[in-house]
Structure 1
Amino acid sequence: MTHILLTGSSRGIGAATAVALADAGASVIGHGTASGIPADFADPGAPAALWAAALDRAGGAIDVLINNAGVFEANPIDAEDAAWLAGWERTMRINLTASAELCRLAILHWQSRGCGGRIVNIASRAAYRGDSPAHWHYAASKAGMVAMTKSIARGYAGQGILAFAICPGFTMTGMADDYLASRGGDKLLADIPLGRVADPHEVAVAARFLALEAPASMTGAVIDVNGASYVR
């Protein structure tokens, strides 16, 4: 059985991904759910503690890491200096640094076992397109996640360690609902040729494929799920 650590599994994309993976027969170790492992990624010690607890729950072997946890919080440019910097650093720690720590621990784990493994990082369309003036930090964190994914793919493919990223556009989650409401939903929807935002299940299908089925030669791939609102 494939053992998968999935962060941010309590709602939205994470919850849909947990269901899709379980339906495919994988053993999913969730984070942030009632039955999962609690961890606040704003705490620098949380990623290592989560990894250790997940490894114990998995019986000593994790095969796939999916980094999905993240925050989307406004950080206006005219905020007080200290508040702006704190907002920047909080988003970077939760969205990027915690994911990097877990990627590092996963790679070291697979190297010590002499086996391969898979990493799937849930980034964002914002990594390529950018985001609003109040969300520089969010876009930068997701761009960092994409660059990290590609670096891992290039650096460890020879050891059977594969890395992929998914870049959703607007997805019908709590975060997207709030953003659409605050910025005029109709105008934003008009920018999506498909005419609607993605359903979390659509992102989950991509995550399941990359975690369990994608051929090794796809390592380093970034999959867009954005209704053609940004094409590369």
Structure 2
Amino acid sequence: MKAHETVMGWVTAELQSGRLSIGDHLPGERALAETLGVSRGSLREALRVLEAVGAIRTSTGSGPRSGTIITASPGQALALSLNLQLATRHVEHAHVFEVRLLLEAWSAEHADLASGDWPTAERLLDRMDDPGLGVPEFLQLDAEFHVALSRAAGNPLISTLMDALRTSIADHTLARAQALPDWPTTATRLRGEHRGIYERMRADDREGAAALLRDHIRGYYAETSTEPDGARTATDATG
């Protein structure tokens, strides 16, 4: 077993037993290396791997925020994996489109009106109404809005996946948006569609919201797709 697998297995067991919780500090390097029977060099390499995937955070200095702290941020690991998949072209724009359809439509269909963070969603919509907003800022708010809506379904894994998607495809999405011939017109349309989706969600019309979300995602995919069959895929997928 590799050193990082040994460390992760120990952390997982400690969390499951209740001996450790999110936010707790790991023991010092020497003590942990002795406990796990690995060298301190191997332990340091393992800790770097775990920090990269969001399992821990390591800070130097003194005080309560220093040392190695368990964070368990699965979104960071998922975003890292998706970034690599996009870079190697194992995951393409069409695949992201299909996953968004599944996740966002399901979230809308299973939304609980009482669980939604509607003030945050409305605040994001208001900020997107700023006509002087640049494309990167608009897309950031756009993505946050979609993640906020997904949280109403009460499934933390869905929200984590959505947030990981948002992080991993940010550059990819920006490049496609900046290539559009008339971004202001596109932004105006997106604002209107967002408001319509939000209103359906607030009215507890889950099927209506899901239908609007599908149309919204398909329309934007078709507009920004560079694949020859992009428009056909956007029209036919899941429908």
**Structure 2 length as normaliser, TM-score?**
0.23
Which is richer in helix? 2
**Structure 1 length as normaliser, TM-score?**
0.23
Which is richer in strand? 1
Which structure has more relative contact order (CA 8 Å, sep 6+)? It is 1
**Which of these two proteins has the greater Rg computed from alpha carbons?**
2
